[in-house]
């Protein structure tokens, strides 16, 4: 049996598929950004590599290597989620958590484990943000 569906419906179906199944970009405008995250890690090299490996349409990704970068970003705009790599020392990570919670009532904080190493940061960020998108947010 053949199904007759329009091109718009087919395109909508294909673009809603998860990462590896999603067709390649056609050069169209990126989706409107509705979520801002900040990814923090010990080195700019790891953070830059992580940013290139993220598959999060509609997400604006800020990055930094410590609490000063976080403070600067929080002073400029609303951040929905802060995600930290395990390369940052524990005292710095805890200071970042304190800073977020003292500055915002709506920002969530997520800390990656150390066992997956720097290469585990991008999959962690993708999983956290993808999972959080499934939770309805208050308007």
CA-based torsion, 137, 121, 50, 11: positive or negative: negative
**CATH code, domain with 101:** 3.40.50.2300
pLDDT digits (tens, 9 = 90+) for 52-73: 999 999 999 999 999 999 999 9
Q: Both tokens of residue 94?
A: 């805890």
Whether 21 is covered by a domain: the verdict is no
The whole-chain average pLDDT of the chain stands at 82
The distance from CA 92 to its chain's CA centroid, rounded to whole angstroms, is: 20
The distance from CA 48 to its chain's CA centroid, rounded to whole angstroms, is: 13
Give pLDDT, residue 60. Answer: 96
Whether 15 is covered by a domain: the verdict is no
Give pLDDT, residue 27. Answer: 53
pLDDT digits (tens, 9 = 90+) for 77-109: 999 999 999 999 999 999 999 999 999 999 999
Its domain, for residue 56, covers 31-133
Number of domains composing the chain? 1
For the entire predicted model, the pTM comes to 0.74
As a whole number of angstroms, the longest Cα–Cα distance in the chain is 62
**Gap between the Cα atoms of 139 and 122, Å rounded:** 28
Whether 94 is covered by a domain: the verdict is yes
Residue whose pair of structure tokens reads 């940052």 in the numeric block: 88
């Amino acid at each position: 049996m053949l199904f007759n569906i329009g091109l718009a419906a087919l395109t909508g179906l294909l673009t809603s598929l998860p990462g590896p199944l999603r067709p390649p970009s056609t050069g169209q405008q990126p989706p409107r950004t509705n979520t801002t995250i900040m990814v923090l890690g010990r080195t700019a090299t790891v953070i830059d590599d992580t940013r290139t490996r993220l598959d999060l349409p509609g997400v604006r990704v800020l990055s930094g290597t410590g609490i000063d970068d976080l403070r600067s970003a929080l002073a400029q705009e609303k951040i929905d989620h802060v995600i930290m790599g395990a390369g940052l020392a524990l005292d710095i990570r805890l200071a970042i958590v304190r800073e977020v919670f003292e500055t915002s009532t709506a920002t969530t904080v997520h800390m990656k484990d150390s066992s997956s190493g720097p290469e585990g940061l991008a999959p962690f960020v993708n999983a956290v943000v993808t999972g959080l998108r499934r939770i309805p947010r208050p308007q």
